[in-house]
Structure 1
Amino acid sequence: MTTPASPKSATSAEAHGRHVLERLFATVVERKTASPELSHSARLMARGRDKIAQKFGEEAVECVIEAVNGNKPALVSESADVLYHLVVMWVDAGVTPEMVWAELARREGTSGVAEKAARPKTP
């Protein structure tokens, strides 16, 4: 049986994860101008936003499949793929991790039900 993480270790793990994503973001930004023959990130971005979104969707579906199958190692691997493709999408769209962190912070402490109810209704 695992014990819950202490607040200090949770904060440390959270900070480490955030830094890993921020380093990944910086790498993808750097690779945006690289040769598509040498960089998978550059190749994806050269193919356009539709292809980036398609790859993200494919990885998300694979992640869901592994979650449903209860395959934890594959779920971890697919989750990393989802995060990578999400970061590529952010870079292509001009979204920064700080924008996402700010949105998450804005939502923190708000009930998910209340947050969803406050969203504008779409036809």
Structure 2
Amino acid sequence: MAYAPSTVQDAWDNHFAAFAAHDMDRILLDYDEDSVVTTYDQTADRISVFKGVEGARTLFEGLFEALSDQSDLAAPVIDVSEESNMVFLVWRCPASGFLDATDTFTHNDKTKKISRQNVAYKTG
């Protein structure tokens, strides 16, 4: 059966579980060829843009490698909004050098795939 979340919460549950497990195949189910992820590395003052499924793969290959120690991974703010098709996330993982990070996800109204994701993070 094909992956077809019916709500933003369904899509978020998949995304969050895949992220925690570093499950590349599962996390990529949340993206399609129209997806755009923009990241801002506050420490390096660098913006990067990742497009489509292959862009998301490139992003998560680097991120999963960087998140080698998730012993203190925390997500104190997770706000899922079905009304706006958005998720707002604040997370951190100091053991892997991520002092703080903020993500916003905008989901396609019909497919619930991530259409836009913006990430700002600080390392140290």
TM-score of the superposed pair, with normalisation by structure 2: 0.32
Higher CA-based Rg:
1
TM-score of the superposed pair, with normalisation by structure 1: 0.32
Higher helix share: 1
